[in-house]
Chains A and B, each alone.
Chain A
Amino acid sequence: MCGIIGVIDRNRSLMDGSHIKSALSMMNERGSGEGAGYVAYGVYPEFKDYYALHVFFDNVHEHKKAVDALLSQWGTIIHDEEIPTYEQQGLRRVHTPWRYFFAPDTSLMTRSSTPAEDIVTSLVMKVNTQVTGALIFSSGKNLGVFKAAGWPEEVADFYRIEDYSGYIWMGHNRYPTNTPGWWGGAHPFNLLNWSVVHNGEITSYGTNRRYIESFGYQCSMFTDTEVVAYMVDLLARQHGLSQEMTVRALAPPFWDEIDREVPKQQELDRAIRLTYASAMMNGPFAIVVADQDTMVAFTDRSKLRPLVGAENGSKLYVSSEEAAIRAMDPDIDDVFTPRAGDPIIGRVVA
C-alpha cells in the first residue's frame, strides 16, 4: 500500500509545492514514514538547457571527487551546489543531497543518434553501480526529484518544496513491503526526463529486470519501481512508442479480450504482446509516469490498486484517493476512474 498523487497544468502554469504536500499527507495511512518524495517539472528555468543531476552523497568529502571526475570526463559541470535542506525532527540525514547542472560533450558519443541522453544514462548507471557512496536519483532537464526516508510532510519540509514551482508535480508516500525503506528506494524514480511513482508491486520484476538489463540498464535501487522508469525510457524514448502504446505494452489486454477485438486492433495487440512479452508487468499496481510534456496514469489489468482522476480547467489530477485531490483543489467538479489498463493522459498544450 502506498499513496500517489500527480498534477499537470496543461498551460504550464506554475504551482508551488505546498498544495501537493498537504494532499500527500492526507494519505499518511498509506505510508509508514520510511519513504516519501516529490518531483517537479519546471523548477530550474535558469538552467533549463542542462541536465540537473541530483545526487545522494554518503559523505561529500570522500565521495564527491569520483563523481566530479566522471562528469568532467564526459562533459562540463556548469554549476553545482548542495541542495538546500532544513533539519527535521524524525528525519535522519543519512545522505547529503547535491545537485549538478551538467552539459554532456556530445562529440564523445559518436555513433549515437541521441548522444546527450546516452551519456547521461550511462553516467547514471555507472555512478549508481560503481561509485561508492554516491547515487544519482534525478537526471532530467528543468526538473528535480526531492525524496528521503520519512513522512511526506517531513520530506517536503526537509527540502522546503514550497520554494519550488513546477507545472507538473508528482508525490509518493511509501509503505515498503518487499525491500527495506531507504533514501534511494523512495519514489519518484527518475531517469532523464522520465519520472515514475508507483503503488503496488511488480510481481514480474525478475522477468522485467532481466529484459531491461539486456538493453544495458542496471538496477541498483533494490526496488521494483526502478524497472518501470527504465522500461518507459526504453519503450517511449528509444523505441519511439506513443504513450498509449507504451501503456498497452506494459499493461496489455487479456488474450480473451484481444480475441474479441476487431481484426486490425487484434493484429496490433497481438504484435505488442509478442514483441514486449518480457516488458509486460504483472501484479497489482497503479503507476503515474511523467516527462516534460505529459503525465500518464494507469493501473494493472485487474485493477488491484486504486486510481482516480479529476480536472479543473487546465489542471489534471490523478491520485490513489479522491480526498487527496480535493485537498489540493477543492474546486474540482467530480472524480472519474479509468478502466483497468486504460491510461489517463494529460499533455501540455502550451
Chain B
Amino acid sequence: MSQVQQTEPTLEVLAPLESGVEAVQGRTPWQLFYTRFKRDRIALFAAGVVLLLIALALLAPAFARFVVHRGPNDLNQGYTSDISVPLLGPSKIAWFGVDALGRDIFIRTLYGARTSLLIAILATGISIVVGIALGLMAGFVGGKLDTFISRLIDIVLSLPLLLLAIGIGAARIVRGQTLSLREREFVEAARATGYGNIHIMFREILPNMVASIIVVATLLIPQNILFEAALSFLAVGVPAGTPSWGGMLSDATNGALYRIAWWMLFFPGMFLVMTTLAFNLLGDGLRDALDPRAGR
C-alpha cells in the first residue's frame, strides 16, 4: 500500500450551491499545489525565466549556427587592439560585444548557460541521491548508524565549502524528516501489514518527503551554479576553453579588462545573477505551494 501523507487538509469548502447545501470536493495534493503555485506571480515569473534560460541553453548551437554564425570558441583577433583589448562592444555585429580574443560574448553566454545548468543539475542530482541515501538510513535505522552518519555530516559541514558539503546538507534535512515520519501511523500500519524496512523506507517514507526534496533541490541548483562559477573564476572549474559564466567573469577581471570592456563583466554577471535569483524565487514559491505552513 502506498500512501501519501497529507500535510494540508484535502478538503476545501467550495462556493455554496443554489440549494444552500455546501458541497465538499476532494483534491489531490498536487492539485492543491498547482492551485497555490499559480497564484504566486513571482514564482511563476521565476519559473518562466528558468524555462527561458533552459530553452536558450538548449538552443545555443542553433543560435551559433543560424543566427550569429560563429561558435563560442571562434577567435577573431581583428576585433581587438594590438594589446588584445576588446574593441567591439555590444553592437549589431556582436550583441554582447567581444572578449580579449574577439570571441562573441553572446554566444559564449548561451553556451555558458549550458555549462552552468548542466553542472548544477548534475551536481544537485548527485547531492540529492547521496542526501536521500544517508538521511534515510540515519533517520530510519537510528542508533549507532545514526550517530555515525550524523557525526560524519557534522564533520563534513565543518569543512570549508566543498561540493561534498552541499550533498551532506540535503542528508541532514532528509534525516530530520525521516525521524518524524517513521513514528507516524501509516508507517505503523505498513509494518503491521508485514512490509519490510526497505519497502517502508522507499515506498512509505520517501514519497512523503517529495515536496521537501523538490524544494531542497530547487534551492541547491543556484548554490551549485554559483559554486561552479566560483571554481571556474578561480580557474579550477571546467576544462580550458569551455565557456562558463565564472570563466567569463575571470576573463573580465584578468588584466583589469572590465575597466575598459564593461560588457565582458556585465553580461555573464547579469545572467549569473538572473539565474540564481530565478531559481531561488522558484524554490521559495515551490516551498510555499507544497508546504504553506513551512516558515521561510
Report if A and B associate in a common complex.
Answer: no
